[in-house]
Amino acid sequence: MGRDVFYITTLIYYPNDVPHIGHAYNAVATDFIARYHRLRGEEVFHLTGTDEHGLKLQRAAEAAGMTPQEWVDAMEPKWREVWARLDIAYDVYIRTTEPRHEEAVRKILLAVYENGRDDIYLGHYEGLYCVSCELYYDEADLLPGELCPIHEIPVEFLREDNYFFRLSAYTDRLLEH
């Protein structure tokens, strides 16, 4: 690929269920933008795929009596089928459970650590979480009874370990642009 490439990505979708109109909207919008840039003669890299990790997927799999991997292996083809029916022209489709994705992540993390940077670090996040929204909420934003303001279902207190990126280390450089 040349140096001046227009990169665009869809959301990386959670295949906890079949695609809905919101997913299609995002796929069509990014496809439209990618096609526009191609028509202008630009080199384009259009990425889409599925994020096959997370509590929402785990619970969908459990409800179906499947492992999370069995679940995503059954659901993911339905996503590709919808993109094919919508004639979405992506360049790369990635599944986060694929070895090529896992290897790419490993290489990036290794490069960061080998360069002596501490920009990626293990930490934790905790709070009131709605699994359906995949969002943490402040208490003040909840409905009475600690209900999600969107789904009107109880949120749950969740604490999870995650890797974080220290974006603050780049504040000055980013603000210059």
The two three-digit tokens of residue 78, written as one number:
């339905």
Using alpha carbons, select from 112, 129, 114 the residue that is nearest to residue 165: 112
The two three-digit tokens of residue 20, written as one number:
């809905």
Q: Give the pLDDT score at 116.
A: 76
The answer to whether residues 35 and 86 touch, using CB atoms and an 8 Å cutoff, is no
The two three-digit tokens of residue 96, written as one number:
């986060």
135-137/43-50 β-pairing: unpaired
| Between 143 and 170, the higher pLDDT residue | 143
Maximum C-alpha span of the chain: 55
Q: Which amino acid is at 112?
A: V
Q: Give the pLDDT score at 109.
A: 86
How far, in Å, CA of 15 to CA of 85, rounded?
Answer: 17
Residue 86, φ and ψ in degrees, nearest 5: -90, 0
CATH among 3.30.70.2190, 3.40.50.300, 3.40.50.620, 3.40.50.970 for 5-97: 3.40.50.620
Q: Which amino acid is at 126?
A: E
Please compute Rg for the chain using Cα positions. Answer: 19
pTM, rounded to two decimals? 0.79
The two three-digit tokens of residue 112, written as one number:
């960061």
In the chain, ranges of CATH 2.170.220.10 domains: 119-176
| pLDDT tens, position by position, 83-139 | 999 999 999 999 999 999 999 999 988 888 888 778 888 999 999 999 888 899 999
Buried (b) or exposed (e) across 34-57, using 16+ Cβ within 10 A?
A: beebeeeeeebebbbbbbbeeebb
Q: Give the pLDDT score at 163.
A: 86
In the chain, ranges of CATH 3.40.50.620 domains: 5-97
DSSP 81: H
CATH among 2.170.220.10, 1.10.10.350, 3.40.50.300, 1.10.580.10 for 119-176: 2.170.220.10
| pLDDT tens, position by position, 5-61 | 999 999 999 999 999 999 999 999 999 999 999 999 999 999 999 999 988 899 999
Res. 145: pLDDT tops 80: yes
Q: Give the pLDDT score at 17.
A: 92
CB atoms within 10 A of CB 151: 13
SS3 content of the chain, % helix, strand, coil (to 5): 40, 25, 35
Instruction: Report which secondary-structure segment, H or E, holds 5.
Output: strand 5-9
